[in-house]
Structure 1
Amino acid sequence: MILASQQIKFEELTLILLKEKAVWVPEINSIFIADLHFGKAAHFRKSGIPIPEPIHQEDLNILYSLLTTYDPKNVYFLGDLFHSDLNNQWNTLNHFLRGFPNINFNLVLGNHDILPSSTYDLSTFSVFKEPLEIENLILSHEPLEEIRDGKINLCGHIHPGIRLVGKARQSVRLSCFFYRPNQLILPAFGRFTGLALIQPSSKDQVYGITKEKVIPILS
């Protein structure tokens, strides 16, 4: 039987891979999300490309479901929370998160997180410019090249995807969790993002994501 979620045990922690493209770690009551890219639609509209705003509302709906289902103590955004320049969607996001006053929201800055420091100071987020260590986890935006023994790097940036080919040569691309020794690369949470197809080795594990479940593809 394939479960709606999949689990990875690392040291004392259980990393639960959710079909909502997030990781839940019950032992520390925390949710991890990468690459939301909120505000990207408005960024494109400013450049004259008519992207509809409801695409971000769908992201908020999924985030709302996660927060109300798991009631975490902490949420960690692993970079690229907001897409580049400031626009009114920043206020929309902060207003939404202020509806959860009992949750601590944390941001490890990514390459698209370029808002002025004063903007972050007035936000709902605790902001970290460098990789953050929690228990056995090292949180970063870009995958780290060197990881100490006994630690696992949770990161994003790549927007990992996998291409599956059927017997009749039909194919489908899926977002995925990409797990390799001491590192878990999370899928992009935001719907308005692309995919980078990965080439896993024999030591890697890929977990594809559908609307219904998380599927182990390679082991």
Structure 2
Amino acid sequence: MLGNALPITLGGIAVYLLPQRALYIPAHQLLVIADWHLGKIQHFRKNGIFIPQNTLANELQQLTALTAVYPTRHVLFLGDLFHSSWNPEWDMLLTYLAERTSLTFSLIIGNHDIIDFERNGSGHLALYDQWELDNQLIFTHQPMASVPEGFINVTGHVHPGYTIRAKGKQRYRLPCFYRERQTFILPAFGKYTGLHTVSPSEDAAIYLILGDEVVHHRPRFR
């Protein structure tokens, strides 16, 4: 069922890192997604940047496929679900959420989630500033400055990527999951979000997304 997902443990909880840039917690049938930035496509088009048609529909189909492959009751968005103020993609999202009556959807509000929820609606989204699970995981949009003892902060915002070297002096910058001490950062789910290259310390863990699999990468330090 879990295909090429990579199993790890966070705060004593078994989770799976998905090559589709999401995290799955089977004990709670919880799917966690960070930094989708829906609406950014419209932003690009307004500025004359070509983006293929039906991109949002394709990404929504990807979410549908994930919740089918990984039995899901709850989808938690770690902020920056939407990129800016209202545009038609927001209404498309609300329609999509309303049609999935068997699922619970929650949003931890991020810095780009500037939608006027009272005016434009939040549909079936429950809204939070942060969310806790089993007194072990704290979910936020931005990494916490100080994580309480005994907790792991699962977060987004950073869009982590890591550069690897290949033969012939080639370099590839790849999205990754990134852990440093009590902070675990998810890659951005959205395709048009960009990457921030992380510079790991020796006690950090990097989980690279290589096509349809996630691998634990161990950098060499001189």
Give TM-score, length-normalised by structure 1.
Answer: 0.92
Match of 1:206 in 2: 206
1:73 corresponds to 2:73 = yes
Check 1:173–1:58 CA distance in 2 against 1; reply closer, same or farther (3 A cut): farther
Check 1:12–1:91 CA distance in 2 against 1; reply closer, same or farther (3 A cut): same
Match of 1:31 in 2: 31
1:98 corresponds to 2:98 = yes
Q: 1:201: how far off? A: 0.8
Check 1:27–1:12 CA distance in 2 against 1; reply closer, same or farther (3 A cut): farther
Q: Residue by residue, what CA displacement relative to the aligned partner does 1:70-108 show, whole Å, maximum 9, x if unpaired?
A: 231111100000010100001111212222211110000
> Map of 1:37-52 to 2, 5 A cutoff?
37-52=37-52
Q: 1:119: how far off? A: 4.4
Show structure 1 runs of 5+ residues with no match.
none
Q: Residue by residue, what CA displacement relative to the aligned partner does 1:105-162 show, whole Å, maximum 9, x if unpaired?
A: 000000100011314644120011x222121111110111211122111110000001
Identity between Structure 1 and Structure 2 (%): 35
**C-alpha contact 2:141 2:157 (8 A) present in aligned 1:** yes
Match of 1:134 in 2: 133
Aligned-residue CA RMSD (Å):
1.6
Dislocated runs of 4+, deviation >4 Å: 119-122
Counterpart amino acid of residue 168 in structure 1: G
Q: Distance in 1 between matches of 2:154 and 2:138?
A: 6
Q: Distance in 1 between matches of 2:97 and 2:210?
A: 26
Q: Distance in 1 between matches of 2:177 and 2:120?
A: 29
> Map of 1:1-219 to 2, 5 A cutoff?
4-119=4-119, 121-128=121-128, 130-135=129-134, 136-218=136-218
Aligned length: 216
**C-alpha contact 1:120 1:127 (8 A) present in aligned 2:** no
Q: Distance in 2 between matches of 1:111 and 1:121?
A: 18
**C-alpha contact 2:30 2:75 (8 A) present in aligned 1:** yes
Give TM-score, length-normalised by structure 2.
Answer: 0.91
